Structure 1
Amino acid sequence: MEQEQEQGQETGAGAGTGAAVGDGAGPSLAEHPDPDPRRDGEDTVTSASSSNSDLPSAFPEGERPAIGRRHSGKAFTGLRLFGRRLRLTPRGIIPCWVGVPRQRGGSRKIKHKAPVYKKAIAKSGLQHLVAQPSASAVVKGDLDREIRSTVDWTESALYGDHIWFETNVSGDFCYVGEQHCIAKSLQKSVARKKCAACKIVVHTVCIEQLEKINFRCKPSFRESGSRNVREPTIVRHHWVHRRRQDGKCKQCGKGFQQKFTFHSKEIVAISCSWCKQAYHNKVTCFMLQQIEESCSLGAHAAAIVPPTWVIRVRRPQTSLKSSKKKKRTSFKRKSSKKGAGEEARWKPFIVKPVPSQLMKPLLVFVNPKSGGNQGAKIIQSFMWYLNPRQVFDLSQGGPKEGLEMYRKVHNLRILACGGDGTVGWILSTLDQLQLNPQPAVAVLPLGTGNDLARTLNWGGGYTDEPVSKILSHVEDGNVVLLDRWNLIVEPNQEASQEEKDEQQTDKLPLDIFNNYFSLGFDAHVTLEFHESREANPEKFNSRFRNKMFYAGTAFSDFLMGSSKDLAKHIKVVCDGTDLTSKVQDLKLQCLVFLNIPRYCAGTMPWGNPSEHHDFEPQRHDDGCIEVIGFTMTSLATLQVGGHGERLNQCREVTLTTYKPIPMQVDGEPCKLAPSVIRISLRNQANMVQKTKRRTSIPLLNDQQPVPDRLRIRVNRISMHDYEALHYDKEKLKEASIPLGLIVVPGDSDLETCRSHIERLQEEGDGTKSKTLSSQKLSPKWCFLDSTTADRFYRIDRAQEHLNYVTEISQDELFILDPELVVTETVGTSPGMPDLVDSSGELQSAARQFSFPSSSSSPPPSPVPRILEIQRATQRKRISSDSSVAEALAHSDSLRSTKPALSRKGAKIMSVHRSNTTAADFKPTDRLEKTALCDTDKVSTEALIDCVKNKDHQRLRDLHKLGADLSVQDSSGRTLLHHAVDVGSKEVVKYIIDNAPTDILDVTEKENGETVLHKAASLCQRTICHYLVEAGASLMKTDLQGDTPKNRAEKAKDQDLAAYLENRQHYQMIQREDQETAV
């Protein structure tokens, strides 16, 4: 019996739950015996089971589950009811067995056989969806259906259909479980796919097996049920098994056990794909009655379109054909034209909203071509947080169909994910549809430029901000107006009839602009780039090379003076005032008609004209357009805060050209033939402007008054540490370097804090020789948000005025310095004393044993004494109400036994700014100190021998005796290098778990290889996974300039290379799929 129970647990660990936890096969807890549930007239949309109000009567005496009893040690892998599983029928929950054939009418024959321990709760994603088709129909449709990676909007769309994307997620798990996994029997690596909506991962060949375990995705629509008396208003939870889960259990408040061993089959959590609530996989935390609870849809319920709103409708003629009345011929003849019209207007899906002042339903339009691979990743993230049917891929037909379907939704908001061109596309479509009132449009900027996004405080580009916070900002943002301008072009009949150039055109690429319209030098450069890219697209697949081409083209045009005669060939009239003579006097080479303050990737060419009474500050909602001219000198000063020549603020412009001139409309260039162009106000669009908010502060703190003044410790983090450790908040805090203390008002935003931090640096210039923290910050430093549950993320400098300091920090403020280089030595470098308060003995030892130049050999050192002093001076945090100056003032009394100004577990560091070129750069040896020394107890050679001989037990014994696992041999190779050489997974894992994390990125001297380089070269997939999960850098290059991904490609392991490339991308942007790794 115990053996059978263990087998049941293993199967459940591989399978998981849909509506609830369940076995790998068989009927659902919520499965209806009636083949057509529409007759029941149910009023709920659910991905759990239906009501279980008669639950007690469903069990024979002695077979009732112990719901709610305190079984803290038992995992909730399903209620084990004496070998029988439960099935919900109109009469209640009854025991049933696997594999019993369905009889007519939905009943089953109960076979009398010995009970086996199986799970009681089946995996059902949609068993109680209103007007759900019969199970047999669903199964029949599954047999020949395709694996979809997009939302199915056709009439043949399936309930609970998953949306599959390629994945390189680590491990070898398949959600269907070992019992049903086909790939397991193939004994080879099989591609896997991940569902964007519920985040399960299965082998491609196992997708159809999901039907056998009756697991479907969360519902995204309902069927129209004409016989339903009541409209459904409730959505139920969609429960899924998780082997990895962030956050804390909703029931007990404790965290979820995170096992590093990705081969573990243990299911630690049960979470809902809608509201994201998670519970421990124990009967004490997750109880059966929770399956029947209605789902709140979570933190973003106001933005989510419930599946009860989205209705699939029948074709008009279907009801005629299925009618029981026979004599309809004359009616059909009379109504044939009407029927044809209905057929033409018929759409498979409609949206029937329930108006509510609390709701702000969101439509998301994503341009996957923007921002490299960011667009495709963003689509998956939004499908996880929202209903997949409110997320649209613009490459699949544009925004019109989605906007038309949701046109009647009250308080609708739109999120445009892409560049400024994507926003213009959506605004133009809204004009065509004439929605009233017009929905407000927010922007998630992808790619480069994004001047409109900067104007509305959304920043210049998406970095790694959590999608959940973006949704909150869209919900809370203010609605503002944006002027939109018409461009009416007519041929200039007065111009001389020259031979027409092949490149010139008679019309502009756009007849409306939101940002700017320009002609002259900037348009000429953009046009040359555009034409070159059209001719040779393969040469323009790198953003860096594109920028270099821009710079080269601009420089050559400057030398050739291609636009120096612009003023001689144009006439400008603004509100009846002729500005032509002024343009000619200033010898302008570029003319810009600007609607928003930002231009050319964030510059502000209008500037601040407050000292001039002739002009007003620029606004994007005042019905006026700013006319600005540029000389080559003023164009060059734009990037350093300069502005152009302010010519006029007007409501109408007439521009006449007398020769073909390059022009651009919101970044779209052309060469326009001589024309008369009239610019006039078209309308005003509703836009969402990102505003300040305090959502990161806990509710408990919200009840307390904001203090008048805050004393905040500022800590600095290097880019290397951020990329390696930003998913491990505690280690990143330990790696940070104290910079100083600032005192700011309690309601300060980050712009105010920036000025205080820069002032702190200025005040520290005079004490550079005293403290490490006074090292100069680079101009590119930015703030880090340390309040999110799983990681740190960067804050765009353009959005600092939107964030309160109390919103991104709790007791300390962290900043990222991308040009900071941290090297670890035994002591500190000359002229840069240590941050710890140490005795003179340690200071002298540090000076004596500092590393000399690479050309000289290291002198002998009394290492045990140094190590003893280092252990005594382990750096710890200083409380936020003390300052660096106070700590240093008491240094005489603290000595080596009184640590201060340092972090637990951190090593003594020296910090410098790197001014070397790429040719001067040498591989980093952050643990080089260990190559110089050895302990009295264990020699380096003994440790290396243990690793080479795969003697795991001996290595553990030596480590317990005090052996340092971060030692290196004479060639700079660590124990990990040697373990990878011999392919010992067990030793590699032990070293990773017990050695400092810095060992992951140590480079050996000969080739500059890290351990990950070596493992990728040897195609050691499991070891590569260990290293990546532990935080090994995927961007680090060896002396040949190869990353670990390049090494895998050279080894011709394409699967490993794809995995490493995927994880490399995750180190650069937010990894939203940390919630599960199944």
Structure 2
Amino acid sequence: MMRDSAPPVVERPGLEDVAEEEDVFAAEGSKSMPQPGSCQVTGGKDVEGPEKARGQLSVSQMEADFVQLTFRKQVSYRKAIAKSGLHHLPCQPSTSSLNRTDPEASIRSTVDWTDSALYGDHIWFETNVSGDYCYVGEQHCIARALQKSVGRKKCAACKIVAHTLCIEQLEKFPSSRAILLDDTLPLNDPNFRINFRCKPSFRESNSRNIREPIVVRHHWVHRRRQEGKCKQCGKGFQQKFAFHSKEIVAISCSWCKQAYHNKVSCFMLQQIEEACPIGAHAALIVPPTWIIRVRRHQSSMKSSKKKKRTSFKRKSSKKGAEEGRQWKPFIIRPIPSPLMKPLLVFVNPKSGGNQGNKILQSFMWYLNPRQVFDLSQGGPKEGLELYRKVHNLRILTCGGDGTVGWILSCLDELVLNPQPPVAVLPLGTGNDLARTLNWGGGYTDEPLSKILSHVEDGTVVQLDRWNLQVEPNLGAGAEPDEQQTDKLPLDVFNNYFSLGFDAHVTLEFHESREANPEKFNSRFRNKMFYAGTAFSDFLMGSSKDLSKHIKVVCDGTDLTSKVQDLKLQCLVFLNIPRYCAGTTPWGNPSDHHDFEPQRHDDGYIEVIGFTMTSLATLQVGGHGERLNQCREVTLTTTKPLPVQVDGEPCRLAPSVIHISLRNQANMVQKTKRRTSLPHLNDQQPVPDRLRIRVSRISMSDYEALHYDKDKLRQASIPLGLIVVPGDSDLETCREHIQRLQEEEADKPRILSSQRLSPKWCFLDSTTADRFYRIDRAQEHLNYVSEISQEEIFILDPELVVMMTVATSPSAMPDLVNPSSSLVNSSSSQRQRVNSDSSAAEALTNNSAPVASKLSRAGCIHRSNTTAADFKPRLRQEKSQKTSETEREKEMLIECVKNKDMKKLQELHLKGADLTSLDLSGCTLLHHAVSAGSKEMVRYILDNAPSDLLDVTEKLHGETVLHRAASLCHRTICHYLVEAGASLMKTDLQGDTPKNRAEKAHDAELAAYLENRQHYQMIQREDQETAV
């Protein structure tokens, strides 16, 4: 195995042993430390007399000498790491105050805002991680001692993983004060633990000026697995191939996310005490130095010391004011800065399935956990009250439109001045307000780091909010209804207020769900219920008489006769342009001089009516009947009618409803970010025109490879070339791509290619770690120069990926360019199509291996190629080339079986195809694995397309990794896994490579494959560890 030449930061005992991962003192002195049950302590008293003396003398002189030498070298390092991110803050808690007294209290999954909050407390969430080692280290891992599977938890703030049983071991402090002394080691202290605390989220108050600037230092954490590159040397963090490896590959800061190799050349001692820049989102993060815990005053002690005062007038008045104000254990003392935009995040974990809970944990990793609030733990009021005096405060609401309304109502109640602007991360179903503010119709897979940047850079706009005042209509004389109510579910609306058909459907769904909640746990089933209810209401005509039972007056103008003439079945008072999951019922009244385009900040509300026909056309771009734009509405109903306020339905008794403007809320609108534009001192202008290659990716490749950008590029299929202005947005690019498809349809095609489906979307390939999808509703916000200047990738969810008969150059002779030179380098096999006109032209001028690859990906369908498509000259040469190819293939397989490396290289340099298959479907890799030749496996991996890794042979359906695992070739398994071989793929017997290793009785290989298999499955979650 290849190992780094540079030595680790600290040799035995290592840095991980001293500070975070292992307990060096217990490990080195394990022979002398009392084992569980070896020394009984009764009654909570220390053992006295000869027994104690003999216990102390049990440490040998050799051990004592070694410990003394080791300690002198390591004490400064231990103290420095212990200080990292913690002890630099003034007036830290004493050791005794940090001891765990209640075992259950040591496992918290929420932030503790009480006066008993522990400094550096972890925030534990359930995790299915099985590959990571327990952070307490093997010496004190209870699960390892018990030798059984135990549940694990993961800290959301620093991303360490520990067994549930080991968490107390991780956080417990020494029972004696020996650890605090510089000249002793608690070798005989059975309660000694590593004391690794989480990144600090607050500080203690003291007599110094609490507004005095205090630096935040790094919070260094060891990682056995780390993505990204080292900040010092710029190289990646190699994953060492070693079974049950305990090697620490990286040291990273959980504040700024900087990561370094665990080498002296990359990470040095002085970096431990350096001030932390907090990272890319420093402007949004609330530093722990702003959040101060204040202790409750001990009035009895103070009064006894101040009895001799002659006057108590001023003191008593101050005391009375303090007693009238509720005491809170935490206060916020910000240091105002025009560059800071501190962010409060409110997450509704019930929105979007399990998305809310995962997003809550992710924001605790990116930000200070004390600026992230779980709305299921008491709502937003306390958090808003705590941060009300923070300058330039911004709020991010993660949930549906109802969650946003909840936050805005709390802001009204607290009367914050100025009111902080609110951004939206849509997790609900409709998300019409989020769509209006350009945040999209739902959260897909955009990195949260990028969302934070959008929140920071977003524009503050105003949103009208409307009052609903309801009075009973005493003159209606309607029959009483048990299900009716005289109050609306909300007295303020931000999106819309409606009555009639849509409210009736929503009300039936709401009542059915309350009666049988277990039947409505599926989003698809809910949609089917909506559709069925809407259809039945349509047939029954439940709202056809709506116009006969309402009276509408807008700014003094009676619209009742117009409503009756149109026979409207639904009436909507709309504040924002979006309605019913993204439709635009007001439309674009540019040709209608009586109405203005709709705005959400003009103080006017739009009144729209719907017939059943206009409701049906909404989903295809239609609009309703525009009735009025007004400032006040009086709506009178004469019978119980279904109504809904921002999606909350009820059956309202006959009433008189007054709608009037309440106020305007500040909102954050997502805007276009010109991140790729040159700086002011950069004289390079944006190019007038951009020539951009367009390549498409299938959904299966995207889901499997979107964290491996290089492999995803290799798997992409060229579509053609577009030429667009340099300042184009993605909407413009979409139009060019659609025209490209139309032009390709009219050309005489050399090969048949699948057209784009209507559901395709753009992919952003500029992020450091992965590709992610761009919501179609947000294409106008993204400039093409932001996501690429040379190539655009698009995701086509309906692209068919299939294997065809064209698996070799000889099977598709029309794709071979006779004048092209033979392959003469290792890179030519991985060369991607560089298209300047179309996929067909590009493929005609490219090499045969690429054609073979595209045939596999579904761009080429051999069965659709007619005889007229073949050129006569190539048809005549077909039989000759086929026989030559067969001879080459036989020679390749023979030299691989014989381990003739020299012959293999010669054939490859002459143009032999390394992707050749034999009659049983075995690749050259299959044969190289069977021969047990590490050199040949490495050579083929370096020079052949990565598609070979998951090709299955016909007899058993096994991949090369299956075969290597069956033969217990550990090193070859490592090569294949590192090259990207799938660990989840099963053979015809349903076995994974891990199962094959188990059947071969190689337990260590099976454990390694299981570890890597799980790593592939959780890779998306753990990517946030890297920067």
Moved more, 238-247 or 672-681: 238-247
Residue by residue over 1:243-294, the C-alpha shift from the partner in whole angstroms, topping out at 9 and shown as x without a partner, is 2222222222222223466833221221111111122211122222222221
Contact kept? 1:515, 1:595, Cα under 8 Å: yes
Secondary structure of 1:173 counterpart: coil
**Post-superposition offset of 1:661:** 0.6
User: Residue in 1 aligned with 2:95?
Assistant: 135
User: Residue in 2 aligned with 1:910?
Assistant: 858
- Structure 1 pair 327–788 and aligned structure 2 pair: CA distance change class (3 A): same
User: Residue in 1 aligned with 2:958?
Assistant: 974
Contact kept? 1:363, 1:390, Cα under 8 Å: yes
User: Residue in 2 aligned with 1:115?
Assistant: 69
Amino acid at match of 2:420: P
Among 565, 583, 605, the residue aligned to 1:585:
565
Amino acid at match of 1:877: R
Among 385, 406, 409, the residue aligned to 2:387:
406
Q: Distance in 2 between matches of 1:1012 and 1:567?
A: 68
Structure 2 residue 686 is matched with structure 1 residue 738: no
Contact kept? 1:370, 1:418, Cα under 8 Å: yes
Among 854, 859, 884, the residue aligned to 2:838:
884
Residue by residue over 1:372-398, the C-alpha shift from the partner in whole angstroms, topping out at 9 and shown as x without a partner, is 111111111111111111000000000
* Alignment size in residue pairs: 907
Contact kept? 1:365, 1:394, Cα under 8 Å: yes
Q: Distance in 2 between matches of 1:1016 and 1:445?
A: 45
- Structure 1 pair 786–949 and aligned structure 2 pair: CA distance change class (3 A): closer
Structure 2 residue 487 is matched with structure 1 residue 487: no
User: Residue in 2 aligned with 1:215?
Assistant: 196
Structure 2 residue 780 is matched with structure 1 residue 801: yes
**Post-superposition offset of 1:322:** 9.0
Contact kept? 2:759, 2:797, Cα under 8 Å: yes
Contact kept? 1:481, 1:685, Cα under 8 Å: yes
**Post-superposition offset of 1:201:** 1.2
- Structure 1 pair 502–226 and aligned structure 2 pair: CA distance change class (3 A): same
- Structure 1 pair 1023–761 and aligned structure 2 pair: CA distance change class (3 A): farther
**Post-superposition offset of 1:738:** 0.2
Q: Distance in 1 between matches of 2:841 and 2:927?
A: 49
Contact kept? 1:734, 1:905, Cα under 8 Å: no
User: Residue in 1 aligned with 2:623?
Assistant: 643
Secondary structure of 1:193 counterpart: strand
Instruction: Output aligned runs, 1:952-967, within 5 Å.
Output: 954=932, 956=934, 959=937
- Structure 1 pair 706–135 and aligned structure 2 pair: CA distance change class (3 A): same
Q: Distance in 2 between matches of 1:502 and 1:318?
A: 57
Instruction: Output aligned runs, 1:435-454, within 5 Å.
Output: 435-454=416-435
Secondary structure of 2:139 counterpart: coil
Structure 2 residue 728 is matched with structure 1 residue 783: no
- Structure 1 pair 967–345 and aligned structure 2 pair: CA distance change class (3 A): closer
Instruction: Output aligned runs, 1:437-586, within 5 Å.
Output: 437-498=418-479, 500-586=480-566
Among 698, 705, 709, the residue aligned to 1:718:
698
User: Residue in 1 aligned with 2:154?
Assistant: 194
Q: Distance in 2 between matches of 1:490 and 1:1018?
A: 79
Contact kept? 1:24, 1:176, Cα under 8 Å: no
Amino acid at match of 1:193: K
User: Residue in 2 aligned with 1:652?
Assistant: 632
**Post-superposition offset of 1:341:** 5.7
User: Residue in 2 aligned with 1:811?
Assistant: 790
Among 654, 658, 661, the residue aligned to 1:681:
661
Contact kept? 1:715, 1:814, Cα under 8 Å: yes
Secondary structure of 1:715 counterpart: strand
**Post-superposition offset of 1:204:** 1.6
Q: Distance in 2 between matches of 1:796 and 1:1013?
A: 40
**Post-superposition offset of 1:614:** 0.7
User: Residue in 1 aligned with 2:905?
Assistant: none
Amino acid at match of 2:124: W
Secondary structure of 1:234 counterpart: coil
Amino acid at match of 2:838: V
Secondary structure of 2:140 counterpart: coil
**Post-superposition offset of 1:147:** 1.0
Contact kept? 1:570, 1:657, Cα under 8 Å: yes
Q: Distance in 1 between matches of 2:1002 and 2:680?
A: 49
Amino acid at match of 2:368: N
Amino acid at match of 1:783: F
**Any stretches of 5+ residues in structure 2 without a counterpart?**
1-6, 28-54, 58-63, 172-192, 862-885, 898-917, 942-947
User: Residue in 1 aligned with 2:847?
Assistant: 899
**Post-superposition offset of 1:422:** 0.3
Instruction: Output aligned runs, 1:177-188, within 5 Å.
Output: 177-188=137-148
Q: Distance in 1 between matches of 2:565 and 2:748?
A: 52
Amino acid at match of 1:678: H
Q: Distance in 2 between matches of 1:535 and 1:170?
A: 40
Contact kept? 1:269, 1:278, Cα under 8 Å: yes
- Structure 1 pair 148–332 and aligned structure 2 pair: CA distance change class (3 A): farther
User: Residue in 1 aligned with 2:900?
Assistant: none
Residue by residue over 1:631-679, the C-alpha shift from the partner in whole angstroms, topping out at 9 and shown as x without a partner, is 1111111111111111111111111111111110000010101111111
Contact kept? 2:893, 2:927, Cα under 8 Å: no
Q: Distance in 1 between matches of 2:559 and 2:488?
A: 23
**Post-superposition offset of 1:311:** 0.8
**Post-superposition offset of 1:24:** 4.3
User: Residue in 1 aligned with 2:977?
Assistant: 993
Amino acid at match of 1:168: N
In proportion to residue count, which structure has more helix? 2
- Structure 1 pair 835–1074 and aligned structure 2 pair: CA distance change class (3 A): farther
Contact kept? 1:362, 1:414, Cα under 8 Å: yes
Among 158, 163, 169, the residue aligned to 1:203:
163
User: Residue in 2 aligned with 1:91?
Assistant: none
Contact kept? 2:829, 2:849, Cα under 8 Å: no
User: Residue in 1 aligned with 2:1021?
Assistant: 1071
Secondary structure of 2:246 counterpart: coil
Secondary structure of 1:490 counterpart: strand
User: Residue in 2 aligned with 1:246?
Assistant: 227
Secondary structure of 1:531 counterpart: helix
**Any stretches of 5+ residues in structure 1 without a counterpart?**
28-98, 102-109, 843-866, 914-929, 1033-1058
Amino acid at match of 2:831: K
Residue by residue over 1:72-105, the C-alpha shift from the partner in whole angstroms, topping out at 9 and shown as x without a partner, is xxxxxxxxxxxxxxxxxxxxxxxxxxx999xxxx
User: Residue in 2 aligned with 1:757?
Assistant: 737
Instruction: Give the RMSD, CA atoms, in angstroms.
Output: 4.4
Q: Distance in 2 between matches of 1:205 and 1:183?
A: 7
- Structure 1 pair 1018–1073 and aligned structure 2 pair: CA distance change class (3 A): farther
Secondary structure of 2:530 counterpart: helix
Among 327, 331, 338, the residue aligned to 1:350:
331
**Post-superposition offset of 1:355:** 1.1
Q: Distance in 1 between matches of 2:524 and 2:967?
A: 38
Q: Distance in 2 between matches of 1:1026 and 1:111?
A: 39
Secondary structure of 2:801 counterpart: strand
**Post-superposition offset of 1:1071:** 3.0
User: Residue in 2 aligned with 1:77?
Assistant: none
Structure 2 residue 674 is matched with structure 1 residue 694: yes
Contact kept? 1:827, 1:909, Cα under 8 Å: no
Q: Distance in 2 between matches of 1:561 and 1:1027?
A: 62
**TM-score calculated relative to the size of structure 1:** 0.76
**Post-superposition offset of 1:478:** 0.2
Q: Distance in 1 between matches of 2:652 and 2:1006?
A: 56
Instruction: Output aligned runs, 1:971-1050, within 5 Å.
Output: 973-975=957-959, 986=970, 989-990=973-974, 992-993=976-977, 997=981
User: Residue in 1 aligned with 2:609?
Assistant: 629
User: Residue in 1 aligned with 2:595?
Assistant: 615
Q: Distance in 2 between matches of 1:941 and 1:776?
A: 33
Q: Distance in 2 between matches of 1:803 and 1:701?
A: 24
Q: Distance in 2 between matches of 1:113 and 1:10?
A: 12
**Post-superposition offset of 1:237:** 1.2
**Post-superposition offset of 1:828:** 7.2
Secondary structure of 1:152 counterpart: coil
User: Residue in 1 aligned with 2:111?
Assistant: 151
User: Residue in 2 aligned with 1:393?
Assistant: 374
Q: Distance in 2 between matches of 1:680 and 1:834?
A: 74
- Structure 1 pair 225–210 and aligned structure 2 pair: CA distance change class (3 A): same
**TM-score calculated relative to the size of structure 2:** 0.79
